[in-house]
């Protein structure tokens, strides 16, 4: 069975946590597509090569780097993700993943609009800027990052503007996407709602 769940949304909206939980619940494969751009950005910077070349030569092992969740990788990803040639280079990788047997959940910023516009389920996850900043700041505090809440909020604002305003695959809901506002929802509640939408579309056994 091939069944694709596309989950999009801005940083710290909860899309990644929800996607991982859904994949585990339904036994689907999961791909955090943001890691592709983080790995590409870091590789381009470290090797001193063109971002498109870094994307084209990306290896699966590159997605296992322990520093991909850090702030440097996030900033690098946001920069290279605006480049059409980078997005084109990573398109086939993502579509092949989505088409695998057994089902797949992909989360990112253009899954429902560009990568998998025909996904069986499309979900756009949002949360208020204040709540997203609070969540991201809590992650940084836990990791020993000294940035203030105000600094984190400003970083998110800049990333939002860049992601929504870029010419290549701007951040927006795909046609027919379900809106999931997690501002005042627990993770369990958000996952349960998303699971109901998936169950509505799953073929009968």
Listing DSSP states for 146-194 in one string gives ---HHHHHHHHHHHHHHHHH-SSS-S-PPTTPEEEE-TT--HHHHHHHH
* Burial tier of 69 (Cβ tally within 10 Å: 0-12, 13-18, 19+): middle
Q: Which residues pair with 179 in a beta bridge?
A: 124
Find out whether 70 is annotated in a ligand binding site: no
Find out whether 176 is annotated in a ligand binding site: no
Evaluate the CA torsion angle 151, 71, 160, 133 in order and state its sign. negative
Q: Cα–Cα distance between 108 and 171 in angstroms, integer?
A: 9
Find out whether 23 is annotated in a ligand binding site: no
Nearest to 110 by CA among 129, 96, 95: 95
Find out whether 10 is annotated in a ligand binding site: yes
H-helix or E-strand containing 21?
A: helix 15-26
Alpha-carbon distances of 3 from 99, 125, 153, rounded to whole Å: 8, 19, 36
Find out whether 165 is annotated in a ligand binding site: no
Find out whether 16 is annotated in a ligand binding site: yes
Find out whether 13 is annotated in a ligand binding site: yes
Ramachandran quadrant class, 28 (left: phi over 0; alpha: psi -120 to 50; beta: rest): beta
- Annotated binding residues for ATP: 9-17
- Annotated binding residues: 9-17
């Amino acid at each position: 069975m091939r069944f694709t769940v596309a989950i999009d949304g801005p940083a710290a909206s909860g899309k990644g946590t929800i996607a991982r939980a859904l994949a585990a619940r339904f036994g689907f494969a999961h791909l955090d597509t943001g890691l592709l751009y983080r790995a590409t950005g870091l590789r381009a910077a470290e090797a001193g090569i063109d971002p498109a070349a870094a994307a084209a030569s990306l290896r699966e092992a590159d997605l296992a780097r322990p520093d991909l969740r850090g702030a440097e990788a996030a900033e690098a990803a946001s920069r290279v993700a605006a480049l059409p040639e980078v997005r084109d280079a990573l398109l086939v990788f993502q579509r092949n993943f989505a088409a695998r047997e057994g089902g797949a959940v992909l989360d990112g910023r253009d899954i429902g609009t560009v990568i998998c516009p025909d996904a069986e389920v499309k979900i756009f996850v949002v949360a208020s800027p204040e709540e997203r900043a609070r969540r991201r700041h809590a992650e940084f505090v836990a990791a020993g990052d000294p940035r203030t809440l105000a600094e984190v909020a400003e970083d998110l604002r800049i990333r939002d503007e860049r992601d929504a305003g870029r010419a290549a695959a701007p951040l927006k809901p795909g046609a027919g996407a379900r809106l999931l506002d997690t501002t005042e929802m627990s993770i369990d509640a958000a996952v349960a709602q998303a699971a109901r939408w998936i169950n509505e579309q799953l073929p009968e056994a």
